[in-house]
Amino acid sequence: MFLVRTGAIEGFGELVRHLGGNPAAMLRKSGLSGAQLRDPDTYVSYLRVADLLDLAAESCDEPLFGLRLAERHTIQVLGEVALWINQQETLGQALEHANRHLSLHAYGVHARLVPTPERLELRLNFDFTNATGLRQLMQVSAGQAFIAVSEMAGESATQPRLHLEQERPRACQWRPGRFLREPVFASHFCGVSFPLGWQDRKPNYSEQRLREYFGRRIEELKSLYPEKLPVQVRHLISGLLASGECNLEGVAAALDLHPRVLQRRLGSEGTSFSQLLQQSRQEIAQRQLQHGQLSITELALNLGYADVAVFSRNFRSWTGLSPRQWRDRHRARV
């Protein structure tokens, strides 16, 4: 099954209402609900999201609906993936890292970095399609790739160029926005191109952005689970594991609690930080083994294990199987 985080279409309702449409009716018609959009880390059918975007474009009479939605986003629309790629040494490494971990954001899309004589092309490919050829989904995805590259490079949007395989819409009235220049329509790929020399640049990493991200996530979690501290802790653990900085002290600081206070409050709810850490690791490991593209060694590192043998031993204690045996038995058939 192809899945995507609902954070990928952040701002959908606001844009539809701005264009005079009814987002609730569109969601219902597409088999989705507003409740699913409240938490950006909820996974839903990627194909239904593609159909939803096409429906919105048609209903709002806006052939560039996907681009207009992407203009509202920042690199943080990628969730935790954005935090990890910004910590890589070069922009080229960041984009390669993003491709390896993209399944944490969406299953069914791949990003490939292809050099040409003068530019680099970040090409997006999908494992599925719909009646329109994913027209609006490609707009959103290419727009988000453009924004990610621009933000990491710290450059004006005149340098990268957005590419779409679709023909230029007949009713298109281009509105200069964050993309500044009109996309290259009828291109040989969907994605973004940028100067060849950018691949060696260090990503424009911002500690302030990291603090803002986790601050916003805490407020979202409090509104969703006001009395469920263990759920909040598990969300934070999931976001910090691959950074190598997932520990009791770091999670407690994000919640503005002393580590002993956090442990005491978790204990009063019948759990502990170590138990939640194990549950989060098991959940992520099984999801990745079933749907993702990471090797077992990469998965172990992403879960905070320095030794793949320790990960394999722990995984066997959870499931009775080795990671490879579990993957062979449960691998998604699509």
pLDDT in the model for residue 237:
82
> What is the SS3 assignment for 173?
coil
pLDDT in the model for residue 334:
40
Q: Which superfamily, per CATH, for 207-330?
A: Homeodomain-like (1.10.10.60)
Task: Find where tokens 């930080």 sit.
Answer: 273
pLDDT in the model for residue 175:
77
Taking alpha carbons only, the member of 108, 104, 111, 7 closest to residue 303 is 104
Q: How many helices (H) and strands (E) are present in the chain, helices listed first? A: 15, 6
DSSP state of 106: B
pLDDT in the model for residue 326:
92
Amino acid at 331: R
Q: What ranges do the domains of the chain cover?
A: 3-200, 207-330
Pick the CATH number of 3-200 from 1.20.120, 3.30.450, 3.90.1520, 1.10.3470: 3.90.1520
257 CB-near residues (< 8 Å, 6+ apart) = 265
pLDDT in the model for residue 222:
60
DSSP state of 169: P
pLDDT by residue, tens only, the chain of 334 residues: 588 888 899 999 999 999 999 999 999 898 887 867 877 877 778 998 999 999 999 999 999 999 999 999 988 888 777 766 767 788 888 888 777 778 777 888 999 999 998 899 999 999 999 999 999 999 999 999 999 888 888 765 568 999 999 999 987 777 768 888 889 999 999 999 999 888 888 877 555 665 666 666 666 656 555 557 888 788 778 767 766 668 888 788 767 678 999 999 999 999 999 999 999 999 889 888 887 777 898 888 888 888 899 999 999 999 999 999 998 888 754 4
> What is the SS3 assignment for 60?
coil
pLDDT in the model for residue 251:
81
123 CB-near residues (< 8 Å, 6+ apart) = 111, 112, 113, 114, 189, 190, 191
Q: Please give the Cα distance from 252 to 66 (Å, whole number).
A: 38
